[in-house]
Amino acid sequence: MVQSYVIHLDASTAREPLVKALARGLPDLHVVPAVNGRAMSHEAVAEIAGTALLKPRYPFPLMPSEIGCFLSHRAAWERIVGSRDPFGIVAEDDVVLGKDFATALALALEHASEDSLIRFPMSPRETPAKVVAEAGGHRLFRPEVIGLTAALYLLGRGAAERLLEASERFDRPVDTWLQMRWETGVDSLTIWPADISSGAATTGGSTIQRKKTPLSEITRSWKRSRYRRAIAKKSGTS
């Protein structure tokens, strides 16, 4: 038995057709109400979000939308832990499934366990360190550096428990945090091609946005590059 949990903000009515499509393509889908970080008080934010909690230090302040996104994923992890199923599927509500997604999912399910996290990325940005399995043109592998985005993944119940315990307080976005397997206690495998894409562009764009100026973008690019180098270095020793 596998249940799926799609994170959806009630106010995002434009994404309701995408959620309905996911219900047709994912097994036993349940909607997890997304947390609106913009509606949280400063006191509530201070209880769960901090700065410089882990190394390497995340170089940007967390936006309210990023805090809400992290808490929404934690709510999905709680559902998996409480379900008694060995694992569950977590998806964000802008995911669009391709025609060959079912083949990728079948390969992931064949090798999933209660301790596993298997990512379905939208872009091939990871270098395999070890290939675990191949089938139907899809490859399941352990990446040298875990990629970004947490749009869709298969998560074991035991892994969900560890993620919840390790993320009682956090200092960076959820996908960036999940890269840090040496901190989370949960390794991550990747399946490619995953045959999923984003429908955000046709439904109002990303719900996580930041105003940018040319100078701020140059500064962010430099800080981002330095941070990614530090993550890559830590990943090579984990």
Contact 30, 82 (CB under 8 A): no
What Cα–Cα distance (Å) separates residue 185 from each residue in 109, 135, 216?
Answer: 21, 28, 34
Q: What's the angle, vertex CA 3, arms to CA 159 and CA 112, rounded to 5?
A: 45
* Single-letter amino acid, residue 45: V
The SS3 call for residue 198 is: strand
pLDDT tens by residue, 152-172: 999 999 999 999 999 999 999
**pLDDT, tens digit, 9 for 90 and up, residues 117-136:** 999 999 999 999 999 999 99
Contacts of 128 (CB under 8 A, 6+ apart): 139, 141, 142, 143, 144, 190
pTM of the predicted structure, to 2 decimals: 0.94
Question: Any idea which architecture 3-235 has in CATH?
Answer: Alpha-Beta Complex (3.90)
Taking alpha carbons only, the member of 38, 67, 46, 45 closest to residue 172 is: 67
